[in-house]
């Protein structure tokens, strides 16, 4: 009887319950699947990094990485079609993948077109002397040149302001590493708030919030980067001013006119986006037409100007980033990986900062980092009226921290080459402003939530 009682007790324990064993088996199987999905994502990102290191164009590399992810997750075209159809029926138009692809690709291409239009009209050449004539402070002019040119985020556009900064900085006797850091940092301060950077409208669309809401929270990141950057790069270590520097010959009114002619299209585009939620691609297209008409550019020259938008690699970049995002959603990897990270007790705040930081550090690009990481982070951040903008700002601060300090970021090796200085010196000089942005993200998460 005693033995029968012992066997009966053993059968009644949870470990001996057949249904409990089935539950444990299912949990174990789910964990294996989630680990496989997480491994597939890591392998795809690693392939992207390797391709970039092999000098493969970023658009091609992004498409290859997205296709590899689809292959590893066993996602077929019919599966993707069902996901896109479901978006069409359940999401607002502005949040569907098709709309994002068309609008953001148009934005990327039209930024090139407006740059070509300004070059054709001669505004780019007149902008440098205009800024030098308008702003007498050497420190202010050093920061302003990349800050203003950064409002036009063309690929490799850091070289637009580099000659101005190097010329002015050499006259002041500044170290080349400091000049490269000034040119890099103040150009990239617009990244969290300026609508011509595709990551900004992409984040807004994914969160389902207004442009003004996003701007009001992300401005803290731009402000922190500017404040710390000014203290570190411009307040200390500037040699005394020489009194024999020539003064500009033109009247201040001419300089102001050139300045306004060059920047009204960009400000016009941003104003429409922030105030009226007009898509940046629409705003910049209207600005291009207005610019060409205002300066009476003959219609025969319009075609050559718009040819500047024929950049296939930019189209592939946008397609690859959004395809990666759709694969994550179609494969069901997002919810599974989020639950897995919760089960191993990864603090949400740490995940919100580290995931964008790691992806931006390994890829060196902003918009694909948003497309890859934000689908996971939305489970913690929320969307629409439930969005926690403090947590989202923390996530974007992690993205900026990784982006500013990675040698993979194209602007950094370009700067090292042009300013003839060490890449490591530039990164170390930028480190404190990057830490300032990261700490601001942490404070926003704590006090705004």
3-state secondary structure (DSSP) of residue 91: coil
Query: Is residue 1, in this structure, part of any structural domain at all?
Result: no
Average of per-residue pLDDT values in the chain: 81
Query: Is residue 86, in this structure, part of any structural domain at all?
Result: yes
Q: Which of 82-86, 122-126, 193-197 has the lowest mean pLDDT?
A: 122-126
Phi-psi region of 296 (alpha: psi -120 to 50; beta: other; left: phi over 0): left
Identify which has the larger pLDDT, 436 or 126.
436
pLDDT of 316-331, one tens digit each?
A: 888 988 898 888 888 8
Taking each helix axis from N to C end, the angle separating 18-53 and 333-343, rounded to the nearest 10 degrees, works out to 110
Report how far residue 439's alpha carbon sits from residue 281's, in angstroms, rounded to the nearest whole number.
33
Residue with tokens 């104003």: 271
Give residues with Cβ within 8 angstroms of 118, minimum separation 6.
124, 152, 262, 291
Report how far residue 299's alpha carbon sits from residue 309's, in angstroms, rounded to the nearest whole number.
17
Q: What is the pLDDT of residue 3?
A: 44
- Name, of 65-74, 84-93, 125-134, 238-247, the range with top average pLDDT: 65-74
Task: Find the domain containing 427 and state its range.
Answer: 26-447
Q: How confident is the model at residue 229 (pLDDT cuts 50, 70, 90)?
A: very high
Which of 217, 185, 230 lies closest to 395, judged by CA?
A: 217
Phi-psi region of 406 (alpha: psi -120 to 50; beta: other; left: phi over 0): beta
18, pLDDT greater than 70: no
359, pLDDT greater than 90: no
Identify which has the larger pLDDT, 427 or 142.
427
Q: What is the pLDDT of residue 4?
A: 40
Rounded alpha-carbon distances, angstroms, from residue 81 to 84, 116, 183, 273, 405? 5, 37, 44, 31, 38
Identify which has the larger pLDDT, 118 or 396.
396
Rounded alpha-carbon distances, angstroms, from residue 87 to 192, 280, 389? 27, 22, 24
Question: Using the 8-state DSSP alphabet, how is residue 237 labeled?
Answer: S
3-state secondary structure (DSSP) of residue 166: helix
3-state secondary structure (DSSP) of residue 174: coil
Identify which has the larger pLDDT, 140 or 429.
429
Which of 259, 314, 288, 312 lies closest to 116, judged by CA?
A: 288
Query: Is residue 2, in this structure, part of any structural domain at all?
Result: no
Report how far residue 296's alpha carbon sits from residue 204's, in angstroms, rounded to the nearest whole number.
36
Query: Is residue 296, in this structure, part of any structural domain at all?
Result: yes
Query: Is residue 18, in this structure, part of any structural domain at all?
Result: no
314, pLDDT greater than 90: no
Residue 245 in tokens: 């520097």
Identify which has the larger pLDDT, 4 or 398.
398
Q: What is the pLDDT of residue 244?
A: 45
16, pLDDT greater than 70: no
Q: Which of 50-54, 343-347, 395-399 has the lowest mean pLDDT?
A: 343-347
Identify which has the larger pLDDT, 251 or 428.
428
Give residues with Cβ within 8 angstroms of 119, minimum separation 6.
none
Phi-psi region of 345 (alpha: psi -120 to 50; beta: other; left: phi over 0): left
Q: How confident is the model at residue 204 (pLDDT cuts 50, 70, 90)?
A: very high
Give residues with Cβ within 8 angstroms of 407, minimum separation 6.
413, 423, 427
Alpha-carbon Rg for the chain in angstroms: 25
Q: What is the pLDDT of residue 250?
A: 58
- Name, of 50-64, 183-197, 343-357, the range with top average pLDDT: 183-197
Q: What is the pLDDT of residue 202?
A: 92
Q: Which of 81-90, 184-193, 203-212, 218-227 has the lowest mean pLDDT?
A: 81-90
Q: What is the pLDDT of residue 1?
A: 43
pLDDT of 59-87, one tens digit each?
A: 888 899 999 999 998 999 999 999 898 88
Average pLDDT over residues 129-150: 75
- Name, of 59-63, 268-272, 400-404, the range with top average pLDDT: 400-404
Name the pTM for this structure: 0.74
Query: Is residue 13, in this structure, part of any structural domain at all?
Result: no
Report how far residue 399's alpha carbon sits from residue 84's, in angstroms, rounded to the nearest whole number.
27
Q: What is the pLDDT of residue 241?
A: 66
Neighbours of 220 (CB within 10 A): 20
Query: Is residue 20, in this structure, part of any structural domain at all?
Result: no
Domain count, the chain: 1
Q: Which of 10-14, 174-178, 383-387 has the lowest mean pLDDT?
A: 10-14
Give residues with Cβ within 8 angstroms of 355, minimum separation 6.
373, 376, 377, 395, 398
Query: Is residue 4, in this structure, part of any structural domain at all?
Result: no
């Amino acid at each position: 009887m005693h033995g029968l009682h012992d066997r009966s007790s053993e059968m009644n324990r949870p470990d001996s319950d057949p249904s409990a064993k089935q539950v444990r088996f299912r949990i174990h199987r789910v964990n294996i699947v989630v680990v496989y999905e997480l491994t597939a994502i890591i392998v795809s990102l690693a392939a992207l990094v390797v391709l970039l290191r092999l000098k493969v164009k970023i658009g091609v590399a992004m498409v290859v990485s997205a296709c590899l992810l689809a292959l590893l997750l066993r996602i077929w075209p019919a599966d993707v079609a069902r996901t896109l159809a479901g978006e069409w029926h359940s999401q607002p138009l502005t949040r569907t993948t098709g709309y994002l692809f068309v609008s953001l690709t148009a934005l990327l291409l039209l930024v090139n077109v407006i740059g070509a239009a300004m070059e054709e009209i001669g505004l780019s050449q007149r902008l440098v002397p205009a800024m030098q004539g308008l702003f007498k402070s050497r420190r202010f002019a050093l920061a302003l040149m990349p800050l203003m040119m950064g409002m036009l985020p063309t690929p490799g556009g850091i070289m637009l302001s580099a000659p101005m900064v190097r010329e002015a900085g050499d006259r002041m006797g500044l170290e080349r590493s400091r000049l490269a850091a000034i040119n890099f940092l103040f150009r990239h301060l617009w990244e969290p708030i300026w609508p011509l950077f595709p990551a900004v409208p992409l984040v807004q669309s994914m969160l389902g919030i207004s442009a003004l809401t996003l701007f009001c929270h992300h401005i803290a990141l731009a402000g922190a980067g500017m404040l710390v950057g000014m203290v570190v790069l411009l307040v200390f270590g500037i040699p005394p001013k020489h009194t024999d520097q020539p003064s500009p010959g033109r009247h201040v009114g001419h300089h102001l006119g050139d300045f306004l002619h060059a920047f009204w299209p960009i400000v016009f585009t941003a104003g429409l986006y922030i105030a009226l939620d007009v898509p940046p691609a629409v705003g910049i297209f209207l600005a291009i037409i207005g610019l060409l008409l205002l300066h009476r550019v003959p219609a025969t020259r319009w075609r050559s100007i718009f040819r500047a938008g024929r950049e296939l690699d930019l189209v592939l970049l946008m397609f690859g980033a959004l395809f990666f995002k759709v694969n994550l959603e179609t494969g069901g990897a997002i919810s599974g990986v989020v639950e897995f990270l919760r089960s191993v007790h990864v603090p949400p705040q740490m995940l919100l900062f580290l995931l964008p930081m790691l992806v931006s550090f390994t890829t060196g690009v902003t918009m694909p980092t948003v497309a890859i990481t934000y689908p996971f982070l939305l489970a913690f951040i929320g969307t629409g009226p439930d969005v926690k903008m403090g947590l989202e700002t923390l996530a974007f601060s992690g993205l900026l921290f990784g982006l500013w300090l990675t040698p993979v970021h194209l602007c950094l090796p370009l700067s090292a080459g042009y300013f003839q200085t060490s890449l490591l010196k530039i990164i170390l000089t930028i480190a404190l402003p990057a830490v300032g942005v990261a700490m601001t993200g942490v404070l926003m998460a704590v006090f705004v939530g």
